[in-house]
């Protein structure tokens, strides 16, 4: 308020002097110079505002027990942190303290939570920032912010009586990208150089021992100087959780939610292969929202089932396809479902013609087990399921449609994977030197073989296919149990 009043009086005085005949140009130039200096000083001083107000805090309420599905990463991280926690034993054995720990893995797997739990585990002050906070158009600003970050960590630890401080840098690939890639100016390189200097300056006998923890999902972009021993000494992989891990995470995110008696967490975990911790948190939240919309006080299994679709595909759309398009979508999805049940009984979780996201309809499979290695039979079965939608359209409606374009793209990718893995008739080959004509014939041969297989099967069960389409058009959705009941009775 005082600044605004002062500026108002100053401007009024300048205008009065100008109207009185005084030469006010020197005052205008002086004011412009002062404003420029103030802007530069304010820009360079942003780091103090960001870090002093951004908060170096202790996360005593977050522990490793609050993080599910990452037992291996937690064990490896705790082992690294014990070097700091048990400083006396480390010093007696002459062990050099770790300066940095790099958390790598897909988004949403809990890297930030692990860093917060690490701060509580080591009883350290916690300073969190992002790599983008250090990048500015003004030379030297990034380097100054790096220095201020380490200074803030030490000062805050001293203020609250701690001997340890933990600095967490998210998206470190922005700050620590490979040098020499930016030709316009060297601001990126100067900022990274300053981080390297600060990490080199960390000592075991410092009054406040500082540990740098960084997270990235693009470790390939980092400068090699950051990854050498003495900087980021340990790399901890934080991967997507397996089924047991997903069970733990779902239990954590549903412990404050009223669950109905029919809820099976194991069943939910089985349907969510490939989900990260963030996806599972969203899943539990969406299920609770669906229950609230219905005015219920408990969350049922069907709410979780619907939430899986929403997290994977998006919200239901208001737009409705025409009657002919809806019939084609139903035929397409029924073809996928029939072939999926044929190659692996019990694999279909649901099929629907309700539009979600970019899909007019979809068939969702339930993985029997988390699979990381694939045989040729498994991959060929996947191709068969992908091609079944278009072939069902051709069998029932007499033609295919553009709705199968994504299926074809995926089928081509799987066929190419068979060749690259040395499981085709070509044997072990180098994909880089393999002539395109030979590669094309090999891929086409795999696809043609599966097309013939799928066509023969769908022709045998055409009546059942037509019956499933009728039910799907009437009810819009069929769950896996109902589908298998239809297949057992052979009824429409």
Calculate the alpha carbon distances from 75 to 80, 117, 164 in Å.
9, 12, 20
Say if CB 349 and CB 363 are below 8 A apart.
no
Can you name the residues that pair with 129 across neighbouring β-strands?
169
**Alpha helices per DSSP H over 20-135:** 25-44, 46-54, 71-85, 87-92, 111-121
Say if CB 223 and CB 178 are below 8 A apart.
yes
Calculate the alpha carbon distances from 266 to 245, 249, 284, 412, 447 in Å.
11, 11, 14, 33, 36
∠ CA(375), CA(379), CA(385), 5° rounding? 145
DSSP reduced 3-state for 357 = coil
- Catalytic residue among 198, 333, 341, 451, which? 333
- CA–CA distance, 492 with 478 (Å, rounded to integer): 13
Q: In what order do the strands lie in the sheet with 209-216?
A: 56-57, 124-130, 164-170, 209-216, 100-104, 234-237
Query: H or E element: which one contains 235?
Result: strand 234-237
333 is catalytic: yes
- CA–CA distance, 222 with 5 (Å, rounded to integer): 50
DSSP reduced 3-state for 103 = strand
The tokens of 33 are what?
């110079």
Rg (alpha carbons) of the chain, rounded to whole number = 31
The backbone region for 401, taken as left when phi is positive above 0, alpha when psi lies in -120 to 50, beta otherwise, is beta
By annotation, the residues acting in catalysis are: 333
């Amino acid at each position: 308020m005082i600044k605004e009043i002062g500026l108002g009086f100053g401007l009024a005085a300048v205008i009065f002097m100008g109207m009185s005949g005084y030469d006010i140009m020197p005052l205008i130039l002086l004011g412009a110079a002062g404003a420029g200096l103030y802007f530069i000083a304010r820009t360079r001083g942003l780091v103090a505002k960001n870090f002093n107000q951004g908060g170096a805090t202790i996360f005593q309420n977050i522990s490793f027990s609050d993080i599910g599905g990452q037992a291996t990463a937690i064990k490896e991280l705790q082992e690294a942190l014990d070097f700091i926690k048990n400083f006396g034993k480390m010093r007696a054995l002459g062990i050099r303290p770790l300066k940095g720990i790099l958390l790598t893995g897909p988004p949403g797997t809990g890297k930030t939570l692990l860093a917060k739990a690490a701060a509580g585990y080591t009883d350290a002050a916690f300073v969190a920032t992002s790599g983008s906070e250090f990048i500015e158009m003004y030379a030297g600003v990034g380097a100054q912010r790096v220095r201020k970050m380490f200074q803030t960590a030490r000062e805050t630890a001293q203020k609250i009586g701690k001997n340890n401080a933990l600095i967490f840098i998210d998206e470190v690939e922005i700050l620590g990208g490979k040098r020499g890639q930016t030709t316009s100016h060297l601001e990126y390189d100067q900022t990274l150089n300053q981080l390297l200097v600060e990490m080199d300056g960390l000592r075991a006998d410092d009054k406040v021992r500082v540990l740098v923890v960084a997270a990235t999902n693009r470790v390939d972009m980092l400068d090699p100087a950051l990854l050498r021993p003495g900087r980021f000494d340990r790399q901890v992989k934080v991967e997507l959780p397996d089924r047991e891990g997903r069970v733990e995470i779902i239990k954590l995110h549903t412990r404050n939610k009223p669950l109905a008696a029919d809820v099976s967490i194991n069943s939910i975990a089985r349907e969510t292969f490939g989900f990260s911790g963030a996806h599972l948190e969203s899943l539990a939240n969406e299920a609770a929202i669906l229950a609230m919309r219905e005015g219920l006080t408990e969350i049922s299994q069907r709410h979780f089932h619907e939430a899986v679709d929403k997290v994977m595909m998006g919200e239901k759309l208001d737009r409705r396809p025409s009657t002919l398009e809806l019939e084609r979508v139903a035929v397409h999805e029924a073809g996928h479902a029939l072939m999926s049940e044929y190659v692996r009984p019990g694999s279909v979780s649901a099929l629907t013609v309700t539009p979600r996201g970019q899909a007019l309809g979809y068939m969702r499979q339930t993985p029997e087990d988390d699979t990381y290695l694939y045989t040729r039979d498994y991959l060929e079965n996947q191709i068969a399921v992908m091609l079944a939608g278009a072939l069902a359209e051709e069998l029932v409606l007499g033609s295919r449609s553009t709705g199968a374009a994504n299926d074809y793209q995926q089928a081509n990718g799987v066929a190419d994977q068979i060749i690259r893995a040395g499981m085709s008739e070509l044997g072990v080959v180098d994909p880089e030197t393999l002539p395109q004509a030979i590669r094309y014939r090999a891929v086409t041969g795999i696809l043609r073989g599966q097309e013939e297989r799928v066509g023969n099967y769908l022709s045998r069960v055409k009546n059942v296919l037509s019956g499933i389409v009728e039910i799907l058009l009437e009810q819009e959705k069929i769950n896996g149990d109902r589908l298998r009941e239809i297949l057992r009775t052979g009824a429409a």
